[in-house]
Amino acid sequence: MVSNKKTRAIFINSGIKIAQKFGFNGLDLDWEFPANKVDMSNLALLFNEWQKALVNEAKSSGKPHLLLTFAIYYASKFTVFGEPRSYPNNAIRKFMDWDPNINGIGAPTVGVGRRNGTMAYFEILEFNNKNSATVVYDTQFGSYYSYLGDSWIGYDDVDSVSLKIQFAQFQGLGGYFLWALGMDKDWIISREVKTYRTLYFRGKQV
């Protein structure tokens, strides 16, 4: 379908008609999976033409602009179910509909960050302080994240690590795993383990 402009148009127009008929807020594409670089290139064309069609449809009908979203594989570059390839990140960033106010854990993202998506704890603290990034503690997941513009970082800080250590002890676990010591800052996270000396066995203090 995506390899031909005519069939792309048929697919786009039929999707818009269905969304309008049933009062949907938008359309979500779930393609599992584009198999090669040609598929990815055609996918970018599909997004471009689809978004243009949505803009034109909203203008002609006077109805709210239908949202366009896309469910993708968890990695921007992958090799499963085909040859090595990457999603067309520029097209996704440009033609998908994003809400900048949605930035919690699980919010949609585009591409990977610095160092292929990996930052040391000291680098995260430096980024947050230097750029005055917004730092949030998520009580549901017991984890921290920070964001600034289109940059989003999920990580553990002293408080979240302390909570997880207490949870492991309360559950009577034999230990806990930290990755990696060399990414700590002045051993702040590593030393946190020493503050919890109480032993638990099967959830009971001993």
Instruction: Give the residue numbers marked as catalytic.
Output: 32
Mapped onto helix, strand or coil, the DSSP state of residue 164 is helix
Residue 39 CA to residue 75 CA, distance in Å, equals 17
* Residue found by looking up tokens 């709210």 in the block: 64
User: In Å, what is the CA distance from 5 to each residue of 17, 38, 99, 167?
Assistant: 18, 14, 29, 55
User: In Å, what is the CA distance from 148 to each residue of 13, 41, 126, 151?
Assistant: 36, 30, 13, 5
CA 88 to chain CA mean position, Å: 16
Number of neighbours of residue 122 by Cβ within 10 angstroms: 14
Nearest CA to 27 among 78, 66, 81? Answer: 66
Specify the pairing of strand 204-205 against strand 200-201. Answer: antiparallel
Residue 186 CA to residue 155 CA, distance in Å, equals 17
